[in-house]
A and B are shown apart, each in its own frame.
Chain A
Amino acid sequence: MRRAAAILAFLASLLSAAAARAEQPLLADLSEHLVAITTGFTGASVVLFGATDGPGDVVIVVRGPEREMVVRRKSRIAGLWVNTRQFAFTGVPTYYAVFSSAPLNDIVPQAVQSLHQIGLANLRLQPKSAAADPDTVADFRAALLDDQQRAGVYGDNVGKISFLGDRLFRTTLDFPANLPTGTYFIEVLLIRDQAVVSGQTTPLVVSQIGVDAEVGEFADRWSLLYGIIAVVVAALAGYLASLPFRHA
């Protein structure tokens, strides 16, 4: 309830600010700027809300941190299904979702969708090897999109943005439990007469919090020490376990 009240207060201030400064056509913010992944994390909802300086449509593109990804294809060799071909893409967002206040094709032409990478079909994935034949790239690209959709980190539908009057808008970004960590960029676009008239990008940090995060970071940075600690802890556990049966 406190969060809802805070959002309402913020919306009211936004509205007055937008009215006072007509030169700012678009303002948006998130209910939280940090999603903390703890031991019992089951997903998170973040409210995105904002105001425009008049009628128009809003499109939101959410992109997770970019990684290099390898797609592998299995083929049958001597009766066994084995990975036979692999293909790498760079700059692949680990999370991707689109939200819109109206059907996309009604409000933005294809060229603009492609420019702003709105929709999975317009996502630009860079093949790592330059000399690749286009059919292979297309196959592996489709497999990557397919896999990410099945994992629930690429939205296959366009989410809805609802307007309150013609100036205030809001939507809920629902993130799944298997959310990749890193800095997300949420691009909010104001669209009028088939063109983007204003845009704003808001970062959202998704990070592991607590013991798990520290263990992971330690294992990464001090891998030798981590390995030694893992051995010592396991050996100690084994020694302690044998104590009650010493005299048996």
Chain B
Amino acid sequence: MDIYLPIAAVSLNGLVLLILGAAVGFLSGIFGVGGGFLMTPLLIVFGVPHAVAVATSANQLVGASVSGALAHWRRGNVDFAMGFVMLAGGLAGSVLGVWFFALLLRFGQAETVVNLSYALLLGVLGALMMIESIRAFLRLRQPALPRRKLHQHTWLHGLPFKMRFRRSKLYISMLLPLGLGFVVGMLSAIMGIGGGFVMVPAMIYILGMPTQTVPGTSLFQIIFVSAAVTVLQAIENGTVDIVLALILLLGGVIGAQLGSRFGTRLRGEQLRAALAILVLGMGLKLAADLTVEPAQRYTLEALP
């Protein structure tokens, strides 16, 4: 059944979109990531214009992160103080990001920058995950390596404006979460992702937060950053497709629940290896799009 998407101005099969939402939701349920980094490039592959794919993924992310953050909040795993500091950075980053995106659209470079950022990000991320999971497979065969030190002090801990984060049991400079929020806010505006896969490792390894408060706090601040990105994209670029976002959310909600059930039955190392292959494949596809000579060297855009 074809559904006409009012902002994207294309007709796409509603069932295909529902399945796409469910598939990304399923993966995010298994792996515990937001899935925005898969959603945006997949929408582009299906023929949604770049700018609309980016803005609508941010809109879809509002719903997905509300759903996820509530689950963590009920278990008391959200560090609100940390969340608010990251949020302040995130909002500033998203304002700058949306403005930068509008500039890219004007010069006709949005497509290249979005594709290039994705190819780099997914390529690096996929490669790191691949190495990690190969190591994990090898470690299974030769057990009992000595453990590394848990908490290391670096120059990052010498920064000023120290602040106490009770729930995470941390006393660190507020510049760290502020800066992290800023970078992820910009990524969110330019690429239509929540940035959970950048945020989560950074919160663990750079901020040194305990693992159980990380996903909830990350999701909590993603709600507000993606909400800000959605509103700003709607005003600045008029590229938020509410119909598309709702179809994706509907599929995503079902998929995420199925995924989280299915995920508990699989072995962790196999899961991570599968995700690594998926992410790497996606990155390679986008890299190929950029480097192989296009069938059409000229593209046409009608201005409003």
Contacts and interface: CB of A to CB of B under 8 A. Distances in A.
Interface of A: 37-42, 67-76, 79-83, 86, 88, 92, 94, 140, 143-144, 146-148, 177, 180, 208, 212-213, 215-216, 219-220, 223-224, 226-231, 233-239, 241-242, 245-246
A215 B234 CA distance: 13
A81 B108 contact: no
B70 A80 contact: no
Select the residue from A140, A143, A241 with max chain B CB neighbours within 10 A: A241
Contacts, number: 174
Given A39-B3, A224-B235, A94 B302 contact: yes
Nearest to A224: B235
A112 B109 CA distance: 42
Select the residue from B116, B234, B235, B246 with max chain A CB neighbours within 10 A: B234
Contact of A83 (B71, B74, B109, B235): B109
B227 interface: yes
B59 to A, nearest CB: 5
Contact of A245 (B230, B233, B257): B257
A242 B67 contact: yes
A215 B303 contact: no
A70 B290 CA distance: 21
Select the residue from A38, A68, A76, A82 with max chain B CB neighbours within 10 A: A82
Contacts of B290: 80-81
Interface of B: 1-7, 11, 59-60, 62-68, 70-71, 74, 107-109, 111-112, 116, 223, 227, 230-235, 238, 240, 242-243, 245-246, 249-250, 253, 256-257, 290-294, 296-304
A70 B108 contact: yes
A74 B297 contact: yes
Contacts of B59: 230-231, 234
Determine the main DSSP class of B at the interface with A: helix
A177 B7 contact: no
A147 B296 contact: yes
A75 B297 CA distance: 8
B299 A213 contact: no
A173 to B, nearest CB: 21
A228 B6 contact: no
Nearest to A143: B298
Contacts of A148: 300
B277 to A, nearest CB: 25
A202 B168 CA distance: 71
Contacts of A208: 4, 6
B112 A82 contact: yes
Contact of A235 (B2, B7, B62, B235): B62
Given A216-B7, A227-B234, A246-B74, A241 B109 contact: no
Query: Nearest 7 pairs between A and B by C-beta?
Result: A227-B234, A238-B66, A143-B298, A227-B231, A238-B63, A234-B63, A238-B67
B250 A237 contact: yes
Contacts of A242: 66-67, 70-71
Nearest to A222: B234
B112 A223 contact: no
Contact of B11 (A41, A71, A226): A41
